[in-house]
């Protein structure tokens, strides 16, 4: 994923089990009060309609902020291609890519995924947890860990693990979290789409001789997908770093909800929305490039 689209955040607070099977729900409200019920939490009427709830969820979860970083990743892919173009053509290509991958365009596609896959009961549970103090604290930790300034701190933390090996129980928790979040897999999928987006967008600019062959394209995608194990290991270290201030019980609560039916629904829909957003932007960039540059032979 280029270098890693900021981590998809999970959710907090434990529900008793999958929505279709559970008979008891457990959640924590925004005052920290634990509630048990045979009915899922209901969003208060004053909280707004579906679109308002989706917008709030994407804001609190950090998804909206993550979308702001995508244009820079696309530009990095473009710069890495080192295509020989006239200065004015380079400027035009960069402008088209920046316009096609605007955060507002991406955000609209992600919201569309939630609108088409909306589930009132699951959203009620999700919102009850997103607003809880523990989740808000975890969201702040995730935001801090994704900031550029945290890179060196993460590197020091990684080196320190050689002499301060985490306890097996802690490692097991972050392994479960990564299994639920599938962040390494998403990084690869996003990287593949970004590679395809830049390749497809540049087609009108390049001559037939300059365009990569299908074999070269397939090889590049296989290379990206071959990073799965390395990215998974890196993700586990990143989770250990991000949640280092949480006690095991807090992290377990977070992980358990991510494994629950509402948690899986939220993460899956969020994931689909991100990939849909990239594909929508890719198609837009290809159309704009085709209009801006006459076909080359």
Count of all residues that appear for the chain in the document? 297
Higher pLDDT, 174 or 207: 174
Q: Looking at the predicted structure, is the pLDDT value of residue 34 above 50?
A: yes
Nearest to 126 by CA among 6, 238, 42: 42
Residues 6+ apart with CB under 8 A from 285: 96, 97, 100, 101, 197, 200, 201
Residue 138 has pLDDT above 60, yes or no: yes
pTM for the whole structure: 0.73
Under the banding of pLDDT at 50, 70 and 90, the label for residue 153 is: very high
Structure-model confidence comparison of residues 78 and 185, the more confident one: 185
pLDDT over threshold 80, residue 145? yes
Query: How far is residue 188's CA from residue 204's CA, in Å, rounded to a whole number?
Result: 26
Do the Cβ atoms of 236 and 174 come closer than 8 Å? yes
Q: What is the mean pLDDT of residues 228-236?
A: 91
**Average pLDDT in the chain:** 80
pLDDT tier at 7, thresholds 50, 70, 90: very low
Q: Once rounded to an integer, what is the mean pLDDT over residues 43-70?
A: 78
Q: Count other C-beta atoms under 10 Å from residue 290's C-beta.
A: 14
DSSP 292: H
> So where are the chain's domains?
25-292
DSSP-derived 3-state class of residue 27: strand
């Amino acid at each position: 994923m280029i270098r890693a689209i900021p981590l998809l955040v999970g959710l907090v607070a434990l529900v008793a089990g999958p929505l279709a099977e559970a008979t008891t729900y457990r959640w924590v409200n925004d005052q920290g009060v634990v509630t048990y019920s045979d009915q899922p939490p209901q969003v208060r009427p004053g909280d707004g309609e579906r679109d308002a709830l989706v917008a709030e969820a994407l804001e609190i979860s950090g998804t909206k902020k993550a979308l702001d970083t995508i244009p820079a990743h696309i530009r990095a892919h473009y710069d890495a291609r080192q295509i020989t173009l006239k200065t004015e053509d380079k400027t035009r290509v960069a402008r088209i890519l920046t316009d096609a991958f605007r955060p507002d365009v991406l955000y609209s596609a992600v919201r569309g995924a939630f609108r088409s896959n909306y589930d009132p009961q699951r959203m009620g549970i999700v919102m009850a947890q997103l607003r809880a103090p523990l989740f808000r604290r975890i969201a702040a930790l995730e935001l801090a860990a994704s900031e550029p300034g945290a890179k060196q701190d993460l590197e020091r933390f990684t080196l320190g693990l050689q002499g301060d090996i985490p306890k097996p129980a802690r490692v097991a928790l972050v392994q479960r979290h990564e299994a639920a979040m599938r962040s390494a897999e998403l990084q690869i999928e996003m990287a593949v789409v970004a590679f395809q987006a830049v390749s497809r967008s540049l087609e009108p600019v390049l001559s037939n001789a300059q365009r990569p062959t299908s074999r070269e394209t397939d090889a590049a995608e296989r290379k990206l997908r071959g990073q799965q194990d390395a990215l998974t290991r890196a993700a586990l270290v990143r989770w250990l770093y991000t949640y280092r201030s949480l006690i095991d019980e807090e992290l377990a609560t977070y992980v358990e909800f991510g494994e629950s039916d509402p948690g899986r629904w939220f993460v899956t829909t969020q994931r689909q929305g991100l990939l849909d957003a990239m594909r929508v932007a890719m198609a837009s960039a290809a159309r704009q490039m085709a209009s801006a540059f006459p076909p080359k032979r």
